[in-house]
A = this chain, B = another copy of it.
Amino acid sequence: MSTAADTASAGADKPVSTSSAANADHAMMANAIRALAMDAVENAKSGHPGMPMGMADVATVLFTRFMKFCPRDPNWADRDRFVLSAGHGSMLIYSLLHLLGYEDMTIDQIRNFRQMGSLTPGHPEVDHTPGVEMTTGPLGQGISTSVGMALAERMLNARFGDDLVNHFTYVIASDGDLMEGISHEAISLAGHLKLSRMIVLFDDNGITIDGALDLSESGDQLARFEAAGWDTTRIDGHDPDAIAAAIEHAQTTDKPSLIACKTRIGFGAPTKEGTSGSHGAPLGAEEIEGTRKALGWSAAPFEIPQNVLDAWRVAGLRASKARTAWAERLDAAPEAQRREFERTMAGSLPNELHAAVNKLKRAFSDDKPSVATRKASENVLNGLADVVPELVGGSADLTGSNNTRAKSQKSVTADDFSGSYIHYGIREHGMAAAMNGMALHKGLIPYGGTFLVFSDYCRPSVRLSALMERRAIYVFSHDSIGLGEDGPTHQPVEHMAALRAIPNLNVFRPADAVETAEAWELALKALDRPSVIALTRQNLPTVRTKHTDENLSARGGYELSPADGDAKATLFATGSEVEIALAAQKQLQAEGVSTRVVSMPCLDLFLEQPAAYREDIIRPNTVRVAVEAGIEQGWGRLIGDSGGFVGMTGFGASAPYKQLYEHFGITPDAVAQAVRERL
């Protein structure tokens, strides 16, 4: 067998010989994945060879016979999406990308698996590696995010038609993905919405890290998926014809599909095949030698026989043809439709947005409503939904409480995907993952609501929004003890701090309707960053009573109310406590203590401002007191060694909210007293 070392410069540009390709059979193509996976893990001295080796047959059939993609244009809009939910098997996708001719994925990248700066990190990372659709690794996220991708596909299809949007979403998922709770939320949502173009290939290998699956699992996955409205098939995951037949069938059903592929983890490894020993560690030199023998694979590490490589590259070229046809259809589409499609897929906002926001802000400043910020947020949505038609809302079954639905928004249903409001059900985690999927797919801007305290339920997905740098907008209402009688289980205390802790996430807590509008504008304009908008249940007065076109929240914090004369004290507050700070300011100034009030709608943005601006706002030479109906953590840098903090030190309680503020001492008196003690 002739072999040819690939080099860093070889990629899709290398001439491909179709006659040579014809000599490579399915088994050798799949073995190329197995060899790259085991050799790369061995070279890195860490990683997961077992899954890529087990799923090599399935992946080979999927990518050579079905997937629609383009190695030269990995991000074209109507490609099929492929998500490796079992992200630890990253060598599967890196091998595929190399073999299929994705230019950047050279053999040197494969050699540098898991090394600093390589395109081949331990788990797949979107944007970092062309051809990777999402960052996976935390189990259950891939399959759940894919629901959002498949949903976005149907919604955009309803908007733009079959010519422009018409693709499948394929997922490879493991036992771990299916054991995670989020998978339940995801598959029941997908089943409910009949997302028939979502096809999950389940790596049914009967092994987990602790050992045989039956140590911890006795359930019937097929029956479970059927109960959730899915079509299911069980096949031999090493039989290429069975794999192909199952995918063909799945493409034609009117339900989402699960194909359980019975596989042997670490396929080909003489002693470790079918055991957890092949899951998460290098096989070792001896085992690798035995595997080469068993697979009939004589090429040296990181070498792919030319005919095998050619066969893969032919598959890459085949898969690209759909792109050419699609591009022609896009060119032929009506100008306005094409422009709107391209605008929304690029994530650009309509030019009218800023004016629409300012219209709202001016009206709020003029009318000075006393209104809960959740209600103000609804008013903002009513003003923006038609201006930004790609805005897609929803709530985890708290629509009337989160105030997430604009008047013009029609529900999305299994029969009609033309709407823009999604009833996610009581599935916070599934909602957040689906939002990530829509943001990753592009073409839609997802937002979704629940209570702030239940941000904990979707935190792993919120973290992924931030890590993947995707514009998902979380509308978290009932943002403090101000929700009152529902009590400590429903009262967020640590959640502002815990969310601010997540890197690359803007956490807004607006003080009134004007700041709420500003938060929405900033969230929409943050193209590569998710946002949280924390909103009150209780009414708040308008504190921004003088209109300005400038978005004052953009710098995170600003002086809302200057001191009478030289400031001796600075009060920092967010959201519902700005009102309290203003009342304390009055008290103090009546006593001759000139006091300024800083509204801090987004601490994250504020801490990113230049030092001079920060210092000007903080004023370290004044007595500093922060007030927020949450814990102190995170305020230390603003209030320093000797500043005061008025807030919560433990969990809340069940009572009418005004009594709670008194009970926990979050009052103008307490704020003023904290200043006095420090003068």
The answer to whether A115 has its CB under 8 Å from any CB of chain B is: yes
How long is the Cα–Cα vector from A47 to B226 in the complex, in angstroms? 37
How long is the Cα–Cα vector from A159 to B502 in the complex, in angstroms? 44
B208 and A191 contact, CB distance less than 8 A: no
Residues of B close to A400: CB separation below 8 A: 209-210
CB proximity of A42 to chain B, nearest CB, Å? 13
How long is the Cα–Cα vector from A185 to B430 in the complex, in angstroms? 14
How long is the Cα–Cα vector from A229 to B400 in the complex, in angstroms? 37
The answer to whether A262 has its CB under 8 Å from any CB of chain B is: no
CB proximity of A510 to chain B, nearest CB, Å? 21
Residues of B close to A357: CB separation below 8 A: none
Query: Quick one: CB contact mask for A166-179 with B, threshold 8 Å, 1 for yes?
Result: 00000000011001
A209 and B641 contact, CB distance less than 8 A: no
B427 and A181 contact, CB distance less than 8 A: yes
Q: Determine the main DSSP class of A at the interface with B.
A: loop
How long is the Cα–Cα vector from A115 to B658 in the complex, in angstroms? 12
Chain B minimum-CB-distance residue to A184 = B184
The answer to whether A3 has its CB under 8 Å from any CB of chain B is: no
A:351-388 near B, CB below 8 Å = none
How long is the Cα–Cα vector from A497 to B636 in the complex, in angstroms? 13
How long is the Cα–Cα vector from A524 to B664 in the complex, in angstroms? 31
B395 and A123 contact, CB distance less than 8 A: no
The answer to whether A138 has its CB under 8 Å from any CB of chain B is: yes
Residues of B close to A494: CB separation below 8 A: 501-503
> Which of A18-26, A196-204, A456-464, A559-567 sits within the interface?
A456-464
A453 and B121 contact, CB distance less than 8 A: no
Task: Please give the number of chain A residues whose Cβ is less than 8 angstroms from any Cβ of chain B in the complex.
Answer: 111
- Picked from B184, B219, B464, the residue with its CB within 8 Å of the CB of A181 is B184
B467 and A460 contact, CB distance less than 8 A: no
How long is the Cα–Cα vector from A654 to B180 in the complex, in angstroms? 24
- Picked from B125, B219, B464, B660, the residue with its CB within 8 Å of the CB of A487 is B125
The answer to whether A228 has its CB under 8 Å from any CB of chain B is: yes
B641 and A620 contact, CB distance less than 8 A: yes
A501 and B504 contact, CB distance less than 8 A: no
The answer to whether A46 has its CB under 8 Å from any CB of chain B is: yes
Residues of B close to A346: CB separation below 8 A: none
How long is the Cα–Cα vector from A210 to B208 in the complex, in angstroms? 39
B424 and A216 contact, CB distance less than 8 A: yes
A:449-504 near B, CB below 8 Å = 453-454, 456-457, 459-460, 463-464, 466-467, 484-490, 493-494, 497-498, 500-504
The answer to whether A87 has its CB under 8 Å from any CB of chain B is: yes
The answer to whether A634 has its CB under 8 Å from any CB of chain B is: yes
Chain B minimum-CB-distance residue to A118 = B654
CB proximity of A289 to chain B, nearest CB, Å? 24
The answer to whether A192 has its CB under 8 Å from any CB of chain B is: yes
Query: Quick one: CB contact mask for A374-413 with B, threshold 8 Å, 1 for yes?
Result: 0000000000000000000001011111000000000100
Chain B minimum-CB-distance residue to A659 = B116
B426 and A208 contact, CB distance less than 8 A: yes
The answer to whether A5 has its CB under 8 Å from any CB of chain B is: no
Contact (A501, B498) CB under 8 Å given A216-B397, A634-B633: yes
The answer to whether A137 has its CB under 8 Å from any CB of chain B is: yes
> Which of A307-315, A547-555, A645-653 sits within the interface?
A645-653
Residues of B close to A467: CB separation below 8 A: 488-489, 651
- Picked from B411, B457, B632, B648, the residue with its CB within 8 Å of the CB of A460 is B457
The answer to whether A423 has its CB under 8 Å from any CB of chain B is: yes
The answer to whether A122 has its CB under 8 Å from any CB of chain B is: yes
The answer to whether A677 has its CB under 8 Å from any CB of chain B is: no
A:43-94 near B, CB below 8 Å = 44, 46-47, 87
A487 and B123 contact, CB distance less than 8 A: yes
Contact (A504, B651) CB under 8 Å given A125-B487, A183-B181, A185-B180: yes
- Picked from B209, B423, B489, the residue with its CB within 8 Å of the CB of A210 is B423
How long is the Cα–Cα vector from A650 to B469 in the complex, in angstroms? 12
Contact (A654, B183) CB under 8 Å given A425-B217, A663-B116: no
A:503-532 near B, CB below 8 Å = 503-504
B46 and A485 contact, CB distance less than 8 A: yes
Contact (A411, B503) CB under 8 Å given A122-B486, A123-B487, A454-B138: no
CB proximity of A658 to chain B, nearest CB, Å? 11
The 9 closest A-B pairs by CB, nearest first: A636-B636, A181-B181, A216-B425, A121-B654, A184-B184, A137-B489, A223-B227, A116-B655, A494-B501
A-B contact pairs, 5 of them (CB 8 A): A114-B655, A114-B656, A122-B486, A501-B631, A633-B633
A138-B454, A181-B429, A640-B640 given. 5 additional CB < 8 A pairs? A47-B485, A115-B656, A135-B489, A137-B490, A620-B641
